[in-house]
Structure 1
Amino acid sequence: MARETDQKNRQPDDLIALLDSADRMPGASELRSLSYALLGAGPGVSVVDVGCGAGRAVAELAERGVRAVGVDPSERMIAVARDRRPEADFRIAGAYELPLADASVDGYRADKVFHELAAPERALTEARRVLRPGGRVVLLGQDWDTIVIDSADPELTRTVVHARADLTTGPRAARRYRNLLLDAGFDAVTVEVRTGVFTGPAMLPLLTGLAGAARSTGALTPEQSDSWIAEQRARAEADRLFLALPMFVASATAPR
Protein backbone atom coordinates (compact mmCIF):
# COMPACT_ATOMS: atom_id res chain seq x y z
CA MET A 1 0.00 0.00 0.00
CA ALA A 2 3.66 6.27 -1.43
CA ARG A 3 6.73 5.11 -1.25
CA GLU A 4 10.29 6.36 -1.10
CA THR A 5 12.00 3.30 0.40
CA ASP A 6 9.65 0.60 -0.84
CA GLN A 7 10.04 1.70 -4.44
CA LYS A 8 13.67 0.67 -4.29
CA ASN A 9 12.66 -2.84 -3.27
CA ARG A 10 9.89 -3.48 -5.85
CA GLN A 11 9.68 -3.55 -9.60
CA PRO A 12 7.99 -0.22 -10.45
CA ASP A 13 5.20 -1.79 -12.49
CA ASP A 14 4.43 -4.21 -9.65
CA LEU A 15 4.14 -1.29 -7.26
CA ILE A 16 1.87 0.59 -9.65
CA ALA A 17 -0.42 -2.44 -9.85
CA LEU A 18 -0.40 -2.69 -6.04
CA LEU A 19 -1.30 0.98 -5.61
CA ASP A 20 -4.04 0.72 -8.23
CA SER A 21 -5.46 -2.23 -6.32
CA ALA A 22 -5.30 -0.31 -3.03
CA ASP A 23 -7.14 2.62 -4.65
CA ARG A 24 -9.98 0.25 -5.57
CA MET A 25 -10.35 -1.32 -2.13
CA PRO A 26 -13.68 -0.83 -0.33
CA GLY A 27 -13.59 2.45 1.54
CA ALA A 28 -10.59 3.85 -0.35
CA SER A 29 -12.65 6.34 -2.33
CA GLU A 30 -14.36 7.56 0.84
CA LEU A 31 -10.99 8.06 2.53
CA ARG A 32 -9.72 10.11 -0.38
CA SER A 33 -12.89 12.21 -0.31
CA LEU A 34 -12.41 12.77 3.43
CA SER A 35 -8.87 13.97 2.81
CA TYR A 36 -10.09 16.44 0.19
CA ALA A 37 -12.72 17.79 2.56
CA LEU A 38 -10.14 18.23 5.34
CA LEU A 39 -7.95 20.15 2.90
CA GLY A 40 -10.86 22.45 2.06
CA ALA A 41 -10.34 21.45 -1.56
CA GLY A 42 -12.42 23.46 -4.00
CA PRO A 43 -12.21 25.83 -6.95
CA GLY A 44 -9.12 28.01 -6.85
CA VAL A 45 -7.41 26.10 -4.04
CA SER A 46 -3.86 24.85 -4.69
CA VAL A 47 -2.68 21.49 -3.30
CA VAL A 48 0.49 19.44 -3.53
CA ASP A 49 -0.02 15.66 -3.37
CA VAL A 50 3.22 14.19 -2.05
CA GLY A 51 3.94 10.60 -3.10
CA CYS A 52 1.26 10.92 -5.77
CA GLY A 53 1.95 7.56 -7.42
CA ALA A 54 0.03 7.19 -10.66
CA GLY A 55 -1.93 10.36 -9.96
CA ARG A 56 -5.49 9.33 -9.05
CA ALA A 57 -5.80 11.91 -6.24
CA VAL A 58 -4.39 14.67 -8.45
CA ALA A 59 -7.05 13.88 -11.07
CA GLU A 60 -9.84 13.80 -8.49
CA LEU A 61 -8.70 17.09 -6.98
CA ALA A 62 -8.64 18.67 -10.45
CA GLU A 63 -12.24 17.55 -10.94
CA ARG A 64 -13.08 19.68 -7.89
CA GLY A 65 -11.46 22.73 -9.45
CA VAL A 66 -8.25 22.42 -7.43
CA ARG A 67 -4.88 23.44 -8.88
CA ALA A 68 -3.11 20.21 -7.96
CA VAL A 69 0.57 19.30 -8.29
CA GLY A 70 1.62 15.67 -7.89
CA VAL A 71 5.17 14.83 -6.82
CA ASP A 72 6.78 11.41 -6.50
CA PRO A 73 10.44 10.33 -6.35
CA SER A 74 9.93 7.54 -8.90
CA GLU A 75 10.56 8.47 -12.52
CA ARG A 76 8.46 5.48 -13.60
CA MET A 77 5.54 6.56 -11.41
CA ILE A 78 5.60 10.05 -12.84
CA ALA A 79 5.85 8.69 -16.39
CA VAL A 80 2.73 6.56 -15.82
CA ALA A 81 0.90 9.48 -14.17
CA ARG A 82 1.71 11.76 -17.11
CA ASP A 83 0.64 9.10 -19.59
CA ARG A 84 -2.69 8.55 -17.83
CA ARG A 85 -3.37 12.22 -17.17
CA PRO A 86 -1.37 14.34 -19.63
CA GLU A 87 -3.23 17.50 -18.68
CA ALA A 88 -2.08 17.34 -15.02
CA ASP A 89 1.05 18.75 -13.36
CA PHE A 90 3.40 15.96 -12.19
CA ARG A 91 6.98 16.43 -11.02
CA ILE A 92 9.76 14.09 -9.92
CA ALA A 93 10.69 14.92 -6.33
CA GLY A 94 10.86 13.46 -2.86
CA ALA A 95 9.14 14.65 0.29
CA TYR A 96 12.24 16.39 1.63
CA GLU A 97 12.78 18.77 -1.30
CA LEU A 98 9.55 19.81 -2.98
CA PRO A 99 9.87 21.73 -6.29
CA LEU A 100 7.68 24.55 -5.00
CA ALA A 101 8.27 28.11 -3.85
CA ASP A 102 7.88 29.19 -0.25
CA ALA A 103 4.26 29.76 0.85
CA SER A 104 2.96 28.76 -2.58
CA VAL A 105 0.17 26.23 -1.88
CA ASP A 106 -2.97 26.08 0.24
CA GLY A 107 -2.84 22.36 0.96
CA TYR A 108 -0.38 19.50 1.48
CA ARG A 109 -1.53 15.90 1.19
CA ALA A 110 0.48 12.70 1.80
CA ASP A 111 -1.30 9.35 1.52
CA LYS A 112 0.59 6.19 2.56
CA VAL A 113 3.89 8.07 2.46
CA PHE A 114 5.22 8.77 5.95
CA HIS A 115 5.81 5.12 6.86
CA GLU A 116 8.38 5.12 4.03
CA LEU A 117 10.32 8.12 5.34
CA ALA A 118 13.37 7.80 7.56
CA ALA A 119 12.96 11.43 8.71
CA PRO A 120 9.27 12.42 8.69
CA GLU A 121 10.21 15.54 10.65
CA ARG A 122 12.12 16.82 7.61
CA ALA A 123 9.08 16.25 5.42
CA LEU A 124 6.90 18.34 7.73
CA THR A 125 9.50 21.11 7.83
CA GLU A 126 9.24 21.14 4.04
CA ALA A 127 5.44 21.13 4.30
CA ARG A 128 5.63 24.22 6.52
CA ARG A 129 7.86 25.89 3.95
CA VAL A 130 5.55 25.43 0.96
CA LEU A 131 2.25 26.04 2.78
CA ARG A 132 0.75 29.47 2.99
CA PRO A 133 -0.15 30.73 6.49
CA GLY A 134 -3.43 29.05 7.40
CA GLY A 135 -2.85 26.30 4.83
CA ARG A 136 -3.96 22.77 5.53
CA VAL A 137 -1.98 19.52 5.83
CA VAL A 138 -3.54 16.05 5.69
CA LEU A 139 -1.69 12.80 6.32
CA LEU A 140 -3.19 9.35 5.73
CA GLY A 141 -1.75 5.93 6.41
CA GLN A 142 -1.88 2.67 8.27
CA ASP A 143 0.01 1.59 11.36
CA TRP A 144 1.83 -1.53 10.18
CA ASP A 145 1.83 -3.03 13.66
CA THR A 146 -1.95 -2.72 13.84
CA ILE A 147 -3.40 -5.16 11.33
CA VAL A 148 -6.07 -7.39 12.87
CA ILE A 149 -6.37 -10.89 11.38
CA ASP A 150 -8.45 -13.74 12.77
CA SER A 151 -6.55 -17.01 12.92
CA ALA A 152 -6.47 -20.28 14.82
CA ASP A 153 -2.84 -19.44 15.64
CA PRO A 154 -2.80 -15.89 17.04
CA GLU A 155 0.83 -16.14 18.12
CA LEU A 156 1.97 -17.00 14.61
CA THR A 157 -0.27 -14.26 13.24
CA ARG A 158 1.40 -11.72 15.51
CA THR A 159 4.73 -12.91 14.14
CA VAL A 160 3.50 -12.45 10.58
CA VAL A 161 2.24 -8.91 11.22
CA HIS A 162 5.26 -7.71 13.17
CA ALA A 163 7.81 -9.29 10.83
CA ARG A 164 6.19 -7.50 7.90
CA ALA A 165 6.11 -4.26 9.89
CA ASP A 166 9.83 -4.55 10.59
CA LEU A 167 10.51 -4.41 6.84
CA THR A 168 9.04 -0.92 6.72
CA THR A 169 11.14 2.18 7.39
CA GLY A 170 8.63 3.73 9.79
CA PRO A 171 5.97 1.11 10.56
CA ARG A 172 4.45 3.14 13.40
CA ALA A 173 4.52 6.55 11.71
CA ALA A 174 0.73 6.82 11.65
CA ARG A 175 0.40 6.68 15.42
CA ARG A 176 2.96 9.50 15.53
CA TYR A 177 1.05 11.83 13.19
CA ARG A 178 -0.36 14.01 15.98
CA ASN A 179 2.94 14.49 17.80
CA LEU A 180 4.86 14.98 14.56
CA LEU A 181 2.47 17.75 13.53
CA LEU A 182 2.57 19.38 16.95
CA ASP A 183 6.36 19.23 17.05
CA ALA A 184 6.48 20.82 13.59
CA GLY A 185 4.46 23.78 14.88
CA PHE A 186 1.11 23.09 13.24
CA ASP A 187 -2.13 24.21 14.86
CA ALA A 188 -5.57 22.63 15.26
CA VAL A 189 -4.23 19.09 14.97
CA THR A 190 -6.86 16.35 14.74
CA VAL A 191 -6.61 12.61 14.19
CA GLU A 192 -9.32 10.13 13.36
CA VAL A 193 -9.32 6.46 12.46
CA ARG A 194 -11.37 4.79 9.75
CA THR A 195 -11.23 1.00 9.97
CA GLY A 196 -11.87 -1.17 6.96
CA VAL A 197 -13.27 -4.62 7.70
CA PHE A 198 -12.70 -7.26 5.01
CA THR A 199 -14.20 -10.73 4.94
CA GLY A 200 -13.88 -11.87 1.34
CA PRO A 201 -11.28 -13.60 -0.82
CA ALA A 202 -10.20 -10.31 -2.39
CA MET A 203 -7.83 -9.81 0.55
CA LEU A 204 -6.01 -13.12 0.07
CA PRO A 205 -3.21 -11.51 -2.01
CA LEU A 206 -2.54 -9.07 0.83
CA LEU A 207 -2.46 -11.90 3.39
CA THR A 208 -0.24 -14.02 1.16
CA GLY A 209 2.09 -11.05 0.77
CA LEU A 210 2.29 -10.57 4.54
CA ALA A 211 3.24 -14.21 5.05
CA GLY A 212 5.75 -14.12 2.20
CA ALA A 213 7.41 -11.04 3.62
CA ALA A 214 7.59 -12.60 7.09
CA ARG A 215 9.07 -15.76 5.59
CA SER A 216 11.70 -13.72 3.74
CA THR A 217 12.97 -12.37 7.07
CA GLY A 218 13.32 -15.85 8.56
CA ALA A 219 10.57 -15.14 11.10
CA LEU A 220 8.52 -17.99 9.58
CA THR A 221 9.63 -21.32 8.24
CA PRO A 222 8.33 -22.30 4.80
CA GLU A 223 6.05 -24.83 6.51
CA GLN A 224 4.63 -22.20 8.87
CA SER A 225 4.05 -19.78 6.01
CA ASP A 226 2.32 -22.39 3.86
CA SER A 227 0.17 -23.55 6.77
CA TRP A 228 -0.89 -20.00 7.69
CA ILE A 229 -1.77 -19.13 4.09
CA ALA A 230 -3.71 -22.39 3.73
CA GLU A 231 -5.76 -21.53 6.81
CA GLN A 232 -6.60 -18.08 5.44
CA ARG A 233 -7.60 -19.56 2.08
CA ALA A 234 -9.85 -22.07 3.85
CA ARG A 235 -11.41 -19.25 5.87
CA ALA A 236 -12.08 -17.29 2.68
CA GLU A 237 -13.74 -20.29 1.04
CA ALA A 238 -15.92 -20.84 4.12
CA ASP A 239 -16.78 -17.13 4.44
CA ARG A 240 -14.85 -16.96 7.72
CA LEU A 241 -11.96 -14.66 6.76
CA PHE A 242 -11.63 -11.54 8.91
CA LEU A 243 -9.18 -8.70 8.46
CA ALA A 244 -9.48 -5.22 9.98
CA LEU A 245 -7.21 -2.45 8.73
CA PRO A 246 -7.26 0.86 10.64
CA MET A 247 -6.35 3.91 8.57
CA PHE A 248 -5.25 7.04 10.43
CA VAL A 249 -6.20 10.45 9.05
CA ALA A 250 -4.51 13.49 10.58
CA SER A 251 -5.07 17.11 9.67
CA ALA A 252 -3.69 20.42 10.88
CA THR A 253 -3.34 24.08 9.99
CA ALA A 254 -0.13 25.97 9.24
CA PRO A 255 0.33 28.87 11.69
CA ARG A 256 -0.70 32.30 10.45
Structure 2
Amino acid sequence: MLAPGGRVVLVGQDWESFIIDSGDPDLTRTIVTARASVVVSPRVARGYRNLLLDNGFTDVTVEVRTVVFVDALMVPMLSGLAENARAAGAVTREQADGWIAEQTHRGRNDRLMLALPLFFAAAATPSSRGQ
Protein backbone atom coordinates (compact mmCIF):
# COMPACT_ATOMS: atom_id res chain seq x y z
CA MET A 1 0.00 0.00 0.00
CA LEU A 2 1.31 3.40 -0.96
CA ALA A 3 0.32 6.36 1.21
CA PRO A 4 -1.05 9.52 -0.43
CA GLY A 5 1.90 11.63 -1.52
CA GLY A 6 4.19 8.58 -1.37
CA ARG A 7 6.66 7.67 -4.10
CA VAL A 8 6.94 4.58 -6.21
CA VAL A 9 9.96 3.43 -8.23
CA LEU A 10 9.86 0.94 -11.10
CA VAL A 11 13.06 -0.63 -12.45
CA GLY A 12 13.31 -2.93 -15.43
CA GLN A 13 14.93 -3.72 -18.71
CA ASP A 14 13.60 -3.80 -22.22
CA TRP A 15 14.36 -7.30 -23.45
CA GLU A 16 14.50 -6.14 -27.07
CA SER A 17 17.18 -3.58 -26.25
CA PHE A 18 20.17 -5.83 -25.62
CA ILE A 19 23.12 -4.31 -27.47
CA ILE A 20 25.71 -6.90 -28.44
CA ASP A 21 28.68 -6.31 -30.72
CA SER A 22 28.86 -8.99 -33.39
CA GLY A 23 30.08 -9.53 -36.92
CA ASP A 24 26.55 -10.66 -37.82
CA PRO A 25 24.09 -8.02 -36.57
CA ASP A 26 21.10 -9.66 -38.27
CA LEU A 27 21.72 -12.97 -36.51
CA THR A 28 22.31 -11.13 -33.23
CA ARG A 29 18.97 -9.32 -33.63
CA THR A 30 17.25 -12.66 -34.28
CA ILE A 31 18.82 -14.16 -31.14
CA VAL A 32 17.81 -11.18 -28.98
CA THR A 33 14.27 -11.15 -30.40
CA ALA A 34 13.90 -14.88 -29.79
CA ARG A 35 14.78 -14.36 -26.12
CA ALA A 36 12.40 -11.42 -25.80
CA SER A 37 9.58 -13.49 -27.27
CA VAL A 38 9.60 -15.89 -24.31
CA VAL A 39 9.72 -13.20 -21.60
CA VAL A 40 6.41 -12.12 -20.10
CA SER A 41 5.91 -8.45 -21.03
CA PRO A 42 9.36 -7.98 -22.60
CA ARG A 43 8.69 -4.32 -23.42
CA VAL A 44 6.97 -3.25 -20.20
CA ALA A 45 9.85 -1.02 -19.06
CA ARG A 46 9.52 1.27 -22.09
CA GLY A 47 5.90 1.84 -21.05
CA TYR A 48 6.52 2.68 -17.37
CA ARG A 49 5.83 6.40 -17.85
CA ASN A 50 2.43 5.86 -19.47
CA LEU A 51 1.57 3.11 -16.98
CA LEU A 52 2.16 5.49 -14.08
CA LEU A 53 0.36 8.43 -15.71
CA ASP A 54 -2.61 6.27 -16.72
CA ASN A 55 -2.99 5.19 -13.10
CA GLY A 56 -3.08 8.68 -11.64
CA PHE A 57 0.51 9.10 -10.52
CA THR A 58 2.10 12.55 -10.73
CA ASP A 59 5.61 13.96 -10.98
CA VAL A 60 6.60 11.06 -13.21
CA THR A 61 10.26 10.86 -14.19
CA VAL A 62 12.04 8.28 -16.31
CA GLU A 63 15.77 7.70 -16.64
CA VAL A 64 17.79 5.12 -18.50
CA ARG A 65 21.08 3.82 -17.17
CA THR A 66 23.09 1.54 -19.39
CA VAL A 67 25.21 -1.20 -17.88
CA VAL A 68 28.14 -2.19 -20.09
CA PHE A 69 29.89 -5.56 -19.87
CA VAL A 70 33.20 -6.12 -21.66
CA ASP A 71 34.64 -9.27 -20.18
CA ALA A 72 34.38 -13.00 -20.74
CA LEU A 73 32.19 -13.46 -17.65
CA MET A 74 29.19 -12.68 -19.87
CA VAL A 75 29.93 -15.43 -22.42
CA PRO A 76 27.79 -18.05 -20.60
CA MET A 77 24.82 -15.67 -20.59
CA LEU A 78 25.31 -14.86 -24.27
CA SER A 79 25.67 -18.56 -25.05
CA GLY A 80 22.37 -19.14 -23.26
CA LEU A 81 20.69 -16.54 -25.48
CA ALA A 82 21.89 -18.36 -28.60
CA GLU A 83 20.94 -21.79 -27.23
CA ASN A 84 17.46 -20.56 -26.37
CA ALA A 85 17.07 -19.13 -29.87
CA ARG A 86 18.15 -22.47 -31.33
CA ALA A 87 15.75 -24.39 -29.09
CA ALA A 88 12.93 -22.08 -30.20
CA GLY A 89 13.75 -22.73 -33.85
CA ALA A 90 14.74 -19.13 -34.52
CA VAL A 91 18.29 -20.09 -35.55
CA THR A 92 20.00 -23.27 -36.67
CA ARG A 93 22.52 -25.25 -34.63
CA GLU A 94 25.27 -24.02 -36.98
CA GLN A 95 24.21 -20.39 -36.55
CA ALA A 96 24.07 -20.71 -32.76
CA ASP A 97 27.43 -22.48 -32.58
CA GLY A 98 29.07 -19.92 -34.86
CA TRP A 99 27.67 -17.00 -32.89
CA ILE A 100 28.73 -18.55 -29.58
CA ALA A 101 32.22 -19.16 -31.00
CA GLU A 102 32.44 -15.52 -32.06
CA GLN A 103 31.36 -14.25 -28.64
CA THR A 104 33.72 -16.67 -26.90
CA HIS A 105 36.57 -15.43 -29.10
CA ARG A 106 35.64 -11.83 -28.32
CA GLY A 107 35.58 -12.61 -24.60
CA ARG A 108 38.99 -14.29 -24.66
CA ASN A 109 40.51 -11.41 -26.62
CA ASP A 110 39.03 -8.50 -24.65
CA ARG A 111 36.66 -7.62 -27.51
CA LEU A 112 33.29 -8.51 -26.01
CA MET A 113 30.73 -5.73 -25.70
CA LEU A 114 27.26 -6.10 -24.21
CA ALA A 115 25.16 -3.14 -23.12
CA LEU A 116 21.89 -3.43 -21.22
CA PRO A 117 19.73 -0.33 -20.76
CA LEU A 118 17.81 -0.29 -17.46
CA PHE A 119 14.76 1.93 -17.11
CA PHE A 120 14.09 3.72 -13.81
CA ALA A 121 10.71 5.40 -13.41
CA ALA A 122 9.62 7.28 -10.30
CA ALA A 123 6.33 8.95 -9.46
CA ALA A 124 4.23 10.31 -6.62
CA THR A 125 0.72 9.36 -5.71
CA PRO A 126 -1.72 12.23 -5.76
CA SER A 127 -2.05 13.75 -2.29
CA SER A 128 -5.73 12.80 -2.26
CA ARG A 129 -6.99 10.11 -4.63
CA GLY A 130 -10.47 10.21 -6.05
CA GLN A 131 -11.02 13.96 -5.63
TM range, normalised to the smaller chain?
Answer: over 0.9
Q: Partner of 1:222 in structure 2? A: 93
Give the aligned residue type for 2:23.
A
Partner of 1:247, secondary structure, is strand
Matched positions, count: 127
**What is the correspondence of 1:121-140 to structure 2 with a 5 Å cutoff?**
130-140=1-11
1:181 maps onto 2:55 in alignment: no
Q: Distance in 1 between matches of 2:13 and 2:47?
A: 11
Q: Distance in 2 between matches of 1:216 and 1:181?
A: 36
Q: Distance in 1 between matches of 2:83 and 2:6?
A: 41
User: How big is each residue's C-alpha offset from its partner over 1:132-191, in whole Å with a ceiling of 9 and x where there is no partner?
Assistant: 101111010110000000000000000000010000110100000000000011000000
Q: Which runs of 5+ in 1 are unaligned?
A: 1-129
Give the aligned residue type for 2:50.
N
Q: Distance in 1 between matches of 2:107 and 2:25?
A: 17
**What is the correspondence of 1:113-128 to structure 2 with a 5 Å cutoff?**
none
Give the aligned residue type for 2:95.
Q
Q: Partner of 1:235 in structure 2? A: 106
Give the aligned residue type for 1:237.
R
User: How big is each residue's C-alpha offset from its partner over 1:226-251, in whole Å with a ceiling of 9 and x where there is no partner?
Assistant: 11000000001111101111000000
Q: Which runs of 4+ in 1 moved over 6 A?
A: none
User: How big is each residue's C-alpha offset from its partner over 1:43-76, in whole Å with a ceiling of 9 and x where there is no partner?
Assistant: xxxxxxxxxxxxxxxxxxxxxxxxxxxxxxxxxx
Give the TM-score, by structure 1 length.
0.49
User: How big is each residue's C-alpha offset from its partner over 1:81-117, in whole Å with a ceiling of 9 and x where there is no partner?
Assistant: xxxxxxxxxxxxxxxxxxxxxxxxxxxxxxxxxxxxx
Q: Partner of 2:34 in structure 1? A: 163
The structure with higher relative contact order (CA 8 Å, sep 6+) is: 2
1:197 maps onto 2:68 in alignment: yes
Q: Distance in 2 between matches of 1:190 and 1:196?
A: 20
Q: Distance in 1 between matches of 2:76 and 2:6?
A: 38
Partner of 1:245, secondary structure, is strand
Give the aligned residue type for 1:171.
P
1:207 maps onto 2:78 in alignment: yes
Partner of 2:94, secondary structure, is helix
Identity rate, percent: 61
Q: Distance in 2 between matches of 1:248 and 1:188?
A: 16
Give the aligned residue type for 1:236.
G
Give the aligned residue type for 1:241.
L
Q: Supply the RMSD in Å over aligned alpha carbons.
A: 0.7
Give the TM-score, by structure 2 length.
0.95
Partner of 1:133, secondary structure, is coil
Q: Partner of 2:43 in structure 1? A: 172
